[in-house]
Structure 1
Amino acid sequence: MLRQYELVERVKEYDPDADEALLNRAYVYTVQKHGSQKRASGDPYFSHPVEVAGLMTDLKLDQETIITALLHDTVEDTLATIEDVEEKFGPDVARLVDGVTKLSKIEQLTDDERAAENLRKFLLAMSEDIRVLLVKLADRLHNMRTLHHIKSPDKRRRIARETMDIYAPLAERVGMYEYMREMQLLAFQQLEPEGYETITHRLDQLRQSDTGQVDRIALDIKQALSEAGLAVEVWGREKHPYSIWKKMAERHLPFEQVSDIMAFRVLTGSVEDCYRALGILHQQFQFVPGRFKDYISTPKNNGYKSLHTTLFYDQSMRVEVQIRTREMHRTNEFGLAAHWAYKQGGADQKIRPDGEVGWLRDLIEIVDSSHDAEELLEHTKMAIYQDRIFAFTPKGALFQLPKGATAVDFAFAVHTDLGAQTVGAKINARHMPLRTPLENGDVVEIIKGKNAEPQLSWLGFVVTGKARASIRRAVRAKEREEVADIGQKMFDEIAERLPAKVGRKATKAAVERLGLEDVEDLMHAIGSAKVTDRQVMEALVPGSTADLPSEPAQERAISIKGLTPGAGFDLANCCHPVPGDRIVGLRRPRKAVEVHAIDCLELANGVDADWVDLSWGERSHGAVGRLLIVLYNRPGTLAEMAGVFARNNANVMNLVLTQRDDPFHTYEVDLEVQDLAHLTRIVSALRASDAVAQADRI
């Protein structure tokens, strides 16, 4: 563990103007606050924040970041508060510490929800200041280095999986490849222990039989370039075990057939020398077609620049060679951290989510668009963890997208509004279907319509998290609007039955009495059957339902013949039998008898249960029937459907839009009805309506 004076000396070496007293105070503060706390390894807990601060000094980060690293666990794990931190170390450090502070563990959440909620807070915090991300990545890296001390295998695997799915990809997205590689290696060791042991053992065997082969290849590459007048540095290394394992899994190869296990780096003095070196190596050695990538002319989103090529050495061995300048190399290994170190000096130079980190805007938009924790995690993984292709607008603007991305993904990448208004696309000047996967170098022109809307069917082919999140948000908003339209129609009919005229004041009071947010929320609640007619009437005019009889739709008096006295039963949700249907029962041990319609498809599929011959008791009435209704997509059709239900005294229990395919919208509707005759009359009325293309019982 770094001693206090050692940490301060490290900072002063690259930042002579750093406040030595403040750094000392932060070191002492974290030691005092964590006190006698221990880590799983048995070490004092304060050794962790001190080591994280040491990692930050390796990157030559400013003193605020170093102090944040020292204090990042004090608010969560000790009695310290953000207010204490702000008073002693200033508002900037307090803001950074608050951003890095991890959420308390919420045991009732699933792993995905816990990871997603951590990620939600994390993304929002780092959008304000990228240093939050740098400290968090160092925090996770040190935790991974000490992960083996945790006794619970399940906990180790959960932390490793979160690291592999979220933190390693984020490190890659900001160009911190050294962090990414070590995180992946440590997580791989926990998630695939057998694979890790096998590959590391094979690599050990290769080293023992190598007899200096890596050094020999590096020397040959350097000699070829030196003879052409280039002064370069060359060194070789094995690819790390996770990278090899991933290649084996993706290509279904045994270890022996993974040919480019060794990679070599060539550092030059200028960009021109990079291209000269490439030409010389391609003349000296045969290169592998299709394995050349120019990340200097088209850098990755994280600012990574390099030339990549794969060469045949001794006519059989494949070796990967990366050619870059020395400045590129530092940026490539430490990404935004290196960039931050170069740009210290003032608040106006702090890195915000623009330029090289513009992808942060997409992640924040995904946070706002996602419906729940699992959806957030799905969309975010898509956004940060996929191989990339390059596509261009007609004016030459470059966009990087995941492999498999379509014109719709491209449109949303350009702008959310453009994606929402997309009606067609030209790829390389040819009209192509929206679902067409894009290739490297494609020129994409988006055709938009003023009244266009995102289509539910697009979810079947888009691949970017931003596109999926935006489409789902738009579809949910449209569904809510349509359900609210039904609710408005039903509200008007409820209001007509009241003894007094209903105005805005009464409606606003009803919203408050029902615990809803606004009038739109009330209409949605009525349309989706979350509140009953009686509840709405009472909320609008208190006391108005006192003399009313119980609503017929709320009455259920069902009895079943054929059951033993006192036996319980449930009406099956698969077929929704109503009085008048021919019925049969399924009896399973220690469960209530399931009552099915005789023509239920579940029965046709075969079931492991005893069959019981049943019939409805006398005067049975009140059950839920399910209908499939296809409406024409034009104004007023939803209101007409709601009117049919109201005129036939049927209560809507649930309504779901299952398919949106112009010119039709398909709904599944659960109706509370008296009996089969009542349900049949409603189906007949729906089929007679000009608004309805199809109405069938499910």
Structure 2
Amino acid sequence: MAEPALIDRQGSRLHRTKHPPKGGSSSPTERPQDALAESLIESIAGYSEPKQIEAVRQAFRFADAAHADQFRLSGEPYICHPLEVALILAKEMRMDVAGIIAAILHDVIEDTQVTKEELSDLFGQEVAELVDGVTKLTQLDSKSKQEVQADSLRKMILAMAKDLRVILVKLADRLHNMRTLGPMAMDRRRRFARETQDIYAPLADRLGMHRKRLELEELAMQAIYPMRYRVLKKAIKRARGNRKEVIGTTEQAICERLREADLRCEISSREKHIYSIYKKMCVKGLSFRRVYDVYAVRVLACDPDECYRALGVMHGLYKPIPGRFKDYIALPKDNGYQSLHTVVVGPYGVPVEVQIRTRDMHRIAENGIAAHWLYKKEIDQSDAAKARAYAWINEFLEHQKNEGGSLEFLDNLKVDLFPSEIYVFTPQGDIIKLPRGATALDFAYAVHTEIGDTCVGARINGQMVPLHTVLSNGQTVEAVTQNWARPDPSWLNYVVTAKARSAIRNYLRNLKTQEAVRLGRRMLEAELRKLNLSLEVLPAEQIDSRLQAMGFERLDDLLEAIGLGDRMALLVARQLTSDREGVDVALDEGPGSGTPLLIQGTEGMVVNLARCCRPIPGDAIVGFFNPGKGLVVHRSECKNALEFQKKQITWVRAEWDSQAKGDFPVELRVVLWDRRGTLAEVASAIAEKGANIENFQVTQQDSHTSTDVITLTVKDRVHLARIIRRLRKIPVVLRIQRTKA
């Protein structure tokens, strides 16, 4: 019999013990899981058939046996956790039986010897796919725990695209774990809560599950900031008594006025949640009293027409605060949320937040995609919420087809999970929905990826603006494009939408690949020329066989590896021309021997000019490989270059191509007389010689002189020499030299 394993809240095995932990029940007549199972059966009996109920019982017996030797940190049998998850789905969402069974079995693949194939044979393919979608990835070759978590989340999102019940089971699992964090160590509790706050609460919100999001946020705050949570909770309790009078007076006045207008609406007050109060205090820098003094009322009407009529009544009764009205009925949020929001000055001069919506809208607002199961027979909007959720997931995954890895996927997901929207218009009058803080470039990518890739500016309400301009509600935006324009790496600093970030990264990744292939080909051809050969004269069969021996499918893959510094061109050349496949080739020459590599200075993605010494055409240079990134070019006299050579880091001899063109940055250290007009005189002399100043920094100053570092762009070493000679003729220039490293 296998030894029992102690399981933490996330299902990970911590250590093994031959006996249940202290506090665990070992008596077969005192099994808490049996009581939970019966409670679950009672919960689903009202909407399930006898055959389905028996299937749930079978799933319980199977999971109970699979988890028999496992216990939670609290001491209870581990099977209690999946049963609690199933109870959340049954009681709060009326989940169908396949989803309930998947919840009961959701940890058996990860924490026991049970396989997906066994589940498929016993409970059907549908249940097996659901369980597999929820299961974390194991035995990954990822570099960090963060990448393991990102891979698991990525797998779950992909499974969601096939079946939304995957995320419902996962959210219920996370909710029960958050409710029972107590026995976990403080640092792990906070890390777990932080992940909930960053990913799962926003994910619940993105799917319209308002109640689940609120509870997850509250529990996360309680774990991350326990002292702050307790202080705010006490403050709310103390202030609650004073609020009753204001809320009571407000509700009574609203009820009377709605009755006079012959509107049959339900009125209720809304209690602000602790995390919402805390977040508003942090974001707006407000004291607790200023946040909590805002009162909230909800009005539930019969249909949208009554909502707008009720809004008119509210604005007739109390004066509205300008700029605080939002119409989410005409323009619903991405998660399907619909409501009218307004803030009015209520009795005693206090602001009152009012939400007005229909009863069906309220059900969708509270439950989101869960309403598909909870109210399926009562309203059709639940199917619309489910369709919107699928549309968002599929659209998001479409944008991520070419992303670089799981961490990039996670980054884009976080960006996409905070959809505080704005609405802008195209010149044709179409509405484009964007997250708050979106720029003109985000708008261009939202219209079409090709428009974003070739965008050079934008017109907002007819006025030309730069791409980084942040958009506001109601603006008319037009993207200005040019055929020659291409994405720039700096764009990633100010775009906020996942689609824009993914498209820019994909373009830059492909560009880097193309440049690496070109550089790798030049390096390999240079080595082959020393053997009086070239790629063109080598037989195709010989190249193919050597590629297979080296583990590459295509020649371009090998050339890319050479260009990025993952393979040495000299070694590859010997392998391609050796008589035997897979032969180990000894390097009888140093890495810097042979024909030097010609540098043009324009291969910006794979050939980088070192910032420490800033080489320019005409300088003696040497190149060092940074595996996976490419070649870094240093001046031969650079101190860093000498250190790299001592450490025998892979390097190559390099020279500037005679056709090298462009503007290259260089630094000059200048000692100047400190008097009025000195900087203007120096700047004028530099401009006179056709150079631009990129940066000017004062590093040392006294009463008579200042030592400054000037960064300017030059064409080559000759151009720099002319500038230095011109500066030396200026009387205020006491000393001038080029920085080395």
Q: What TM-score does the superposition give when structure 2 sets the normalisation length? A: 0.74
Residue of structure 2 aligned with 1:542, choices 578, 581, 590: 578
CA contact (8 A) 2:336 2:388 kept: no
* Alpha-carbon shift at residue 692 of structure 1 (Å): 5.3
1:551 aligned to 2:616? no
CA contact (8 A) 1:654 1:671 kept: no
* Alpha-carbon shift at residue 352 of structure 1 (Å): 11
The aligned residue for residue 472 of structure 1 is 505
* Mapped partners of 2:633, 2:622: distance in 1: 11
Report SS of the residue matched to 1:301.
Answer: coil
Counterpart AA for 2:602:
L
Residue of structure 2 aligned with 1:173, choices 202, 206, 212: 206
CA contact (8 A) 2:621 2:634 kept: no
* Alpha-carbon shift at residue 200 of structure 1 (Å): 0.5
1:42 aligned to 2:75? yes
The aligned residue for residue 579 of structure 1 is none
1:669 aligned to 2:633? yes
Residue of structure 2 aligned with 1:319, choices 352, 361, 377: 352
Residue of structure 2 aligned with 1:100, choices 107, 110, 134: 134
Residue of structure 1 aligned with 2:409, choices 376, 387, 390: 376
The aligned residue for residue 154 of structure 2 is 120
Residue of structure 2 aligned with 1:28, choices 50, 61, 64: 61
* Alpha-carbon shift at residue 377 of structure 1 (Å): 2.9
Q: Provide, for residues 279-324 of structure 1, a one-character-per-residue CA deviation record: whole Å limited to 9, x for no partner.
A: 1011101222211111000000000001111122214212211111
The aligned residue for residue 466 of structure 2 is 433
1:601-612 to 2 correspondences below 5 Å: none
The aligned residue for residue 68 of structure 1 is 102
The aligned residue for residue 530 of structure 1 is 566
The aligned residue for residue 555 of structure 2 is 519
The aligned residue for residue 653 of structure 1 is 625
Q: Provide, for residues 433-492 of structure 1, a one-character-per-residue CA deviation record: whole Å limited to 9, x for no partner.
A: 222111112233334455643221212321123312321221121012112112122323
* Mapped partners of 1:294, 1:351: distance in 2: 19
* Mapped partners of 1:551, 1:131: distance in 2: 62
Report SS of the residue matched to 1:147.
Answer: coil
* Mapped partners of 1:269, 1:196: distance in 2: 38
* Mapped partners of 1:40, 1:102: distance in 2: 20
Q: Provide, for residues 71-116 of structure 1, a one-character-per-residue CA deviation record: whole Å limited to 9, x for no partner.
A: 1111112222111111111111111111011234879864533432
* Alpha-carbon shift at residue 277 of structure 1 (Å): 0.7
Q: What TM-score does the superposition give when structure 1 sets the normalisation length? A: 0.78
* Mapped partners of 1:546, 1:54: distance in 2: 62
Residue of structure 2 aligned with 1:86, choices 101, 112, 120: 120
The aligned residue for residue 689 of structure 1 is 659
* Mapped partners of 1:393, 1:244: distance in 2: 37
* Alpha-carbon shift at residue 34 of structure 1 (Å): 1.8
* Mapped partners of 1:162, 1:199: distance in 2: 23
Report SS of the residue matched to 1:44.
Answer: coil
* Mapped partners of 2:140, 2:514: distance in 1: 34
The aligned residue for residue 255 of structure 1 is 288
Report SS of the residue matched to 1:148.
Answer: coil
* Mapped partners of 1:73, 1:483: distance in 2: 45
CA contact (8 A) 2:399 2:498 kept: yes
* Mapped partners of 2:585, 2:372: distance in 1: 75
* Alpha-carbon shift at residue 344 of structure 1 (Å): 8.6
Q: Provide, for residues 618-659 of structure 1, a one-character-per-residue CA deviation record: whole Å limited to 9, x for no partner.
A: xxxx9x99x9974399xxxx9xxxxx99xx99766359999x
1:413-432 to 2 correspondences below 5 Å: 413-432=446-465
The aligned residue for residue 444 of structure 1 is 477
Q: Provide, for residues 251-288 of structure 1, a one-character-per-residue CA deviation record: whole Å limited to 9, x for no partner.
A: 11111221554322111111111111111011101222
Counterpart AA for 2:163:
D
**Change in CA separation of 1:418 and 1:91 when aligned onto 2, cut-off 3 Å:** farther
Counterpart AA for 1:100:
V
Larger mean Cα displacement after TM superposition, 43-52 or 685-694: 685-694
The aligned residue for residue 307 of structure 2 is 274
The aligned residue for residue 93 of structure 2 is 59
Q: Provide, for residues 393-417 of structure 1, a one-character-per-residue CA deviation record: whole Å limited to 9, x for no partner.
A: 3444433222221122123233434
Query: When the two structures are aligned, how many residues end up with a matched partner?
Result: 606
CA contact (8 A) 1:656 1:668 kept: no
* Mapped partners of 2:565, 2:658: distance in 1: 25
* Mapped partners of 2:258, 2:312: distance in 1: 10
The aligned residue for residue 712 of structure 2 is none
CA contact (8 A) 1:652 1:671 kept: no
The aligned residue for residue 730 of structure 2 is none
CA contact (8 A) 1:62 1:341 kept: no
CA contact (8 A) 1:386 1:402 kept: yes
1:574-593 to 2 correspondences below 5 Å: none
* Alpha-carbon shift at residue 684 of structure 1 (Å): 11
The aligned residue for residue 539 of structure 2 is 503
Report SS of the residue matched to 1:469.
Answer: helix
Runs of 5+ consecutive residues of structure 2 not aligned to the other structure:
1-32, 610-615, 646-651, 665-715, 718-739
Residue of structure 1 aligned with 2:602, choices 606, 614, 631: 631
CA contact (8 A) 1:632 1:693 kept: no
Percentage of identical aligned residues = 38
Runs of 5+ consecutive residues of structure 1 not aligned to the other structure:
556-621, 639-643, 659-666
Larger mean Cα displacement after TM superposition, 685-694 or 649-658: 649-658
- Aligned-pair Cα RMSD in Å: 3.9
* Mapped partners of 1:4, 1:368: distance in 2: 42
The aligned residue for residue 454 of structure 1 is 487
The aligned residue for residue 194 of structure 1 is 227
